[in-house]
């Protein structure tokens, strides 16, 4: 990989809170235009990692380069090229969906904020709810608005910190579709998740964060080869409760 094909390069990254080490020398690379999943249990340091890459926290040691800029030396340039969707949908509940998007377009200093807002509302199926306060949105709608807000100004790299936590299965599938479409459009997606299935469904590359270190990383195929070859067994496949649920409610996977 040449350096201009790399969206994120992290080397020897360390971070402690007071005397508690959270990241103990993390290394990984994310290719431009790919979906990268940082997989790990709660408290493994995923959010800390995202915050450092999004210039919200400073690391103690090591280096992180985002879109060619060093996060600790050139944070302004990093912020120009990224967008963060935090763990809890950071929407302004007092404002309507449309007002939230217009606000973001103004803060990105785009020429036609209202047009930008209306296009995104349309794209995320929020046009009907656009004049309602975000406070009364459902969890799924709120997350869609949240992601739409991150896409204002078309950043080349988007961070999604646990994008489907707290969502029902239908809403989660909608979010997955959004992520896949983003990557198809050339956006690099960095997501954190604690769900193996989510990483498996979405990611081109997966890194597993455990006790402050990346213990395994690679494509799903590469990770599978770390384990003994699959044995062929015949097992009666029972539908999962999720599949039953989705079959009954008749999931809409379009958004």
Partner 1 sequence: METIKNYFFIDLGVMLGRSMRHVSRSMDTIITVTIMPIAMMLLFVYVLGGAIQTGSDNYVNYLLPGILLIAIANSVGYTSFRLFTDVQRGIFERFHSMPIARSAALWGHVLTSLVSNVISLIVIILVALLMGFRSPAGLASWLAIAGILAMFTLALTWIAVIPGLTAKTIDGASAIAYPIHFLPLISSAFVPTKSMPSGVRAFAEHQPVTSIVEAIRALLYHQPVGNGIWVALGWCGGITLLAYFFAMRVYKRRG
Instruction: For CA atoms 143, 22, 55, 178, give the dihedral sign.
Output: negative
Site for partner 1 in 149-178 (CB under 8 A): 149
CA-based nearest residue to 50, from 77, 21, 81, 10: 10
Cβ atoms of 1 and 53 within 8 Å: the answer is: no
Task: Please say which residue, 85 or 217, places its beta carbon nearer to partner 1.
Answer: 85
Name which position in 3, 19, 76, 241 contacts partner 1 (CB under 8 A).
Answer: 76
Task: Please say which residue, 162 or 198, places its beta carbon nearer to partner 1.
Answer: 162
Instruction: Give the number of other CB atoms < 10 A from CB of residue 121.
Output: 21
Task: Please say which residue, 10 or 157, places its beta carbon nearer to partner 1.
Answer: 157
Q: How many residues does the chain have?
A: 255
Cβ atoms of 193 and 199 within 8 Å: the answer is: yes
Name which position in 14, 31, 92, 118 contacts partner 1 (CB under 8 A).
Answer: 92
**Would you count residue 55 as binding partner 1 (CB under 8 A)?**
yes
**Would you count residue 107 as binding partner 1 (CB under 8 A)?**
yes
**Contacts of the segment 111-116: beta carbons below 8 A, 24+ positions apart:** 116/152, 116/153
CB 56 → partner 1: shortest distance, Å? 5
What are the start-end ranges of the E strands in the chain?
6-17, 20-31, 35-39, 61-66, 69-70, 82-85, 157-161, 188-193, 205-210, 213-218
Name which position in 99, 168, 170, 200 contacts partner 1 (CB under 8 A).
Answer: 99
Question: Which window, 94-102, 114-122, 208-216, 240-248, contacts partner 1 (CB under 8 A)?
Answer: 94-102
Site for partner 1 in 24-53 (CB under 8 A): 51
Direct distance between the N- and C-terminal alpha carbons of the chain, in angstroms, rounded to an integer: 35
The 3-state DSSP class for residue 37 equals: strand
CB 137 → partner 1: shortest distance, Å? 13
DSSP string spanning 86-116?
A: -SS----TTSBHHHHHHHHHHHTT-S-HHHH
Cβ atoms of 146 and 162 within 8 Å: the answer is: no
- Per-residue interface string for the shown chain with partner 1, residues 187-226, x marking contact by CB under 8 A: ----------------------------------------
Task: Please say which residue, 84 or 179, places its beta carbon nearer to partner 1.
Answer: 84
Name which position in 13, 37, 84, 129 contacts partner 1 (CB under 8 A).
Answer: 84
CB 177 → partner 1: shortest distance, Å? 23
How many Å is the maximal CA-CA distance in the chain? 60
Name which position in 6, 32, 62, 79 contacts partner 1 (CB under 8 A).
Answer: 79
- Residues of the shown chain interacting with partner 1 in the complex, contacts defined by CB under 8 A: 51, 54-58, 76, 79-80, 82-84, 86-95, 99, 103, 106-109, 149
């Amino acid at each position: 990989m040449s350096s201009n094909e790399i969206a994120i390069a992290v080397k020897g990254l360390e971070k402690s809170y007071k005397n508690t080490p959270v990241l103990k020398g993390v290394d990984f690379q994310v290719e431009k235009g790919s979906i990268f999943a940082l997989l790990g249990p709660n408290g493994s340091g995923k959010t800390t990692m995202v915050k450092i890459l999004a210039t919200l926290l400073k690391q103690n040691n090591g280096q992180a380069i985002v879109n060619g800029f060093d996060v600790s030396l050139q944070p302004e340039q990093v912020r120009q090229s990224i967008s963060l969707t935090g763990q809890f949908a950071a929407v302004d509940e007092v404002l309507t969906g449309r007002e939230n998007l217009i606000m973001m377009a103004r803060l990105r200093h785009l020429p036609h904020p209202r047009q930008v807002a209306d296009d995104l509302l349309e794209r995320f199926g929020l046009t009907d709810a656009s004049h309602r306060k975000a406070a009364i949105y459902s969890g799924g709608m709120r997350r869609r608005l949240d992601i739409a807000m991150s896409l204002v100004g078309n950043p080349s790299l988007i961070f999604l910190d646990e994008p489907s936590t707290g969502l029902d299965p239908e809403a989660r599938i909608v979010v997955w579709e959004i992520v896949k479409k983003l990557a198809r459009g050339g956006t690099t997606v960095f997501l954190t998740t604690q769900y193996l299935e989510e990483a498996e469904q979405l990611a081109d590359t997966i890194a597993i964060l455990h006790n402050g270190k990346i213990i395994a990383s690679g494509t799903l195929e590469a990770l599978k080869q770390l384990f003994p070859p699959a044995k062929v067994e015949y097992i009666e496949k029972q539908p999962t409760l999720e599949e039953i649920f989705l079959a009954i409610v008749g999931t809409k996977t379009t958004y």
